[in-house]
Structure 1
Amino acid sequence: MVNKTSRLSLKNFGITPSFLCSFSFKYSGFFFLLKSIFSKKKSQ
């Protein structure tokens, strides 16, 4: 029941599972880049 409603709301917002996957992948990559930059600044 909960799964069906959540999927329906996601479709209403135009968010597909593939989009969600690509977005999370890009975000994790961006976060990793940010972390590496901060670690470099600390080491200097």
Structure 2
Amino acid sequence: MKIQLEKKVLNAVSKIALDSAKKTANSACVFFCYQAKLPESVKNLRKF
């Protein structure tokens, strides 16, 4: 039972991380001074 719960939690965390990376890849920094460089794997998630 403990292993099943761990798998569910890890799956949820991975889905949240993927959604966050997609949102980051499709947005720009609102500040003028700094925007972090994205890894190639995140750049591949762009919609355009």
TM, length-normalised to structure 2: 0.55
Structure 2 unmatched runs, 5+: 28-48
Equivalents in 2 of 1:21, 1:43: separation in Å? Answer: 34
TM, length-normalised to structure 1: 0.60
Instruction: Give the aligned CA root-mean-square deviation in angstroms.
Output: 0.3
Structure 1: which 4+ aligned runs deviate by more than 6 Å? none
Structure label with greater radius of gyration: 1
Structure 1 unmatched runs, 5+: 1-17
Equivalents in 2 of 1:35, 1:19: separation in Å? Answer: 24
**How many residues are treated as equivalent by the alignment?**
27
Task: For 1:25, give the aligned amino acid.
Answer: K
Identity of aligned residues (%): 4
Equivalents in 1 of 2:15, 2:6: separation in Å? Answer: 14
The structure in which a higher percent of residues are helix is 1
